[in-house]
A = this chain, B = another copy of it.
Amino acid sequence: MFDPVTKLKEFIRHPSVSADSRFHEGMVGARDFIAGLLSSIGFAVEVVKTPRHPIVLARRGGPDHWPHVIIYGHYDVQPADPLNLWQSAPFEPEIRGERIYGRGAADNKGPMMVHVAAVARLLEKRPDLPLRITFLIEGEEEMGSPSFPGFLAEYRDTLKKADFVFLSDTGIPNPDQVVITCGLRGLVLFDVEITGAKSDLHSGLHGGVVRNPIQALAELCASLHTPDGRVNVPGFYDDVLDVEPWEREQLAKLGGDAEAYRQFLGVPAFHTPPGYTPFECVRFLPTLEFNGIGGGYQGEGTKTVIPSKAMAKISCRLVPNQNPDRIRELLYRTVRERVPSDVTLRIIDQHEGQAYIVVPPDRSNTPRDQSPVLAKAFRATDAAVAEVFGRPPLYLREGGSVPIIAQLKQIVGLDSLMMGLFLPEDNLHAPNESFHLGVMERGIRASEKVLAALADGGR
């Protein structure tokens, strides 16, 4: 029988840090390991070259009337630094208590192994299972998946014939409460650079005759929010998808102690638009944030200079229905209108990503065009999670952005069923990362039930 813990240990031992070229051997090792593992349970493995790290595509085919699920995961991990804060070596997995420790244990090798084990167990019992499965395991997730859109474009025609994507790369609040992530925020990023005089000026000899570019930038930045915390850009909220009552209900079930959250953030008070709790703001509202600002002298002491330039890095989180291109246009128009003509403005494009939403069936009154297999998968997951974890999952939008999920929808037309499995205390991207073995085992049982129900449900 497939032993997921032993396999996960072996997987963790390959130090697959995608961002650091010194870990090339670890990347190759992890890739060969997962390719071999999938091959050993009967999958036809293709290693797809990309400009950086190849993608492992492993297929179990079948007739067209079998449902077809794509299972997504990534074999790369975050760097392990700072090493001295680890209790056990990051690439020597160790079980302590009910957890397995090691870099990648929770992000994403453990949760990925959940689905591999579920498939292995199910196929052991039912070798003729009427279900097509494609594992899509990438190696650049921790670098921002730069090769993913190109891969999707190249494989669009074969991938689009699948029914949906199943993955576990999101979080849950505690070991008993699974969360299905139904929405992610999008992004629009750009820099604003303002130039005053052609070079830095002596603030005594010339102070008082030119508009300081820091002042112009501050005036611009200050204009971009209303005092109550909303984004002050005309048209910005036009297309925002309204929150439905069921979403607020789901979030309320999650609970959450606002005062504890405030203390965790370490702020004197929240600053939220009226009508939303802090937890709702993060999930349901778009934002405009300043990620950085710079200009002039920033060292110790003083330098009495009027700087020539100042710049700010701005990003907006978008919610479903907001189109990044339209939002970018509104932002740029507003910025251009508000910067005075006695300084020079330059806007520098940065990247963008669409928001994503998938509405679980039987929830919303707004009908959406969805794969019937996906609807079955949602219902099956609801039932399986309720049975295995003792309570049904919650359906929540998240504040973060996972570009590959929006890309799968945009480029290939596929929705994703995101079954969260990692816990806040799993220390993702931090020292002493671990994965909860109880969650792992229950995840396998739930995944197995979902896949079995899908196979039995047909297309």
Contacts and interface: CB of A to CB of B under 8 A. Distances in A.
B207 A289 contact: yes
Given A218-B222, A221-B218, A212 B289 contact: yes
A283 to B, nearest CB: 9
A344 B207 contact: no
Contact of A302 (B210, B297, B311, B313): B313
A163 to B, nearest CB: 28
Nearest to A317: B207
Given A221-B218, A271-B209, A399-B204, A197 B289 contact: no
A282 B208 contact: yes
Contact of A289 (B203, B265, B270, B271): B203
A451 interface: no
Interface residues of A, number: 80
A401 B351 CA distance: 46
A296 B271 contact: no
Interface string A395-408: 00011110000000
Nearest to A402: B204
Query: Which of A185, A290, A298, A302 has most B Cβ within 10 Å?
Result: A290
Interface in A200-215: 201-212, 214-215
Return the 3 tightest CB-CB contacts between A and B, nearest first. A198-B266, A204-B400, A292-B296
Interface of A: 185, 187, 189, 196-199, 201-212, 214-215, 217-225, 229, 261, 265-273, 278, 281-282, 285, 287, 289-298, 301-307, 310-313, 315, 317, 340-344, 350-351, 398-401
